[in-house]
């Protein structure tokens, strides 16, 4: 689905985001998105480690 998004579409999306949140809020928004992505990756890694531990103890 995201493979079909090209340059012009991304520009339109960025303009809409800029209009919705304003230039002053964009750095704060980017930081919070980055922190959320970091927490998500951390949770995925912990979940994978837990599954590996369960598989090791079952064998």
pTM over 0.85: no
Residue 37 inside a domain? The answer is yes
pLDDT computed for residue 25 by the predictor: 86
Residue 14 inside a domain? The answer is no
What range does the domain containing 50 cover? 22-59
- Whether 59 shows a pLDDT value over 70: the answer reads no
48-52 long-range contacts (CB < 8 A, ≥24 apart) are: none
Residue 32 inside a domain? The answer is yes
CA dihedral 23, 27, 29, 35 (to 10 degrees): 170
- Whether 1 shows a pLDDT value over 60: the answer reads no
Model confidence pLDDT, tens digit, residues 2-35: 678 888 998 898 889 888 888 888 889 889 999 9
Residue 28 inside a domain? The answer is yes
Q: What are phi and psi for residue 6, nearest 5 degrees?
A: -110, -165
């Amino acid at each position: 689905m995201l493979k079909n998004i090209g340059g012009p579409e991304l520009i339109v999306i960025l303009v809409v985001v800029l209009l919705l949140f304003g230039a002053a809020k964009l750095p704060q928004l980017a930081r919070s998105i980055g922190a959320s992505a970091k927490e998500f990756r951390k949770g995925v890694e912990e979940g994978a480690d837990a599954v590996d531990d369960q598989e090791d103890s079952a064998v």
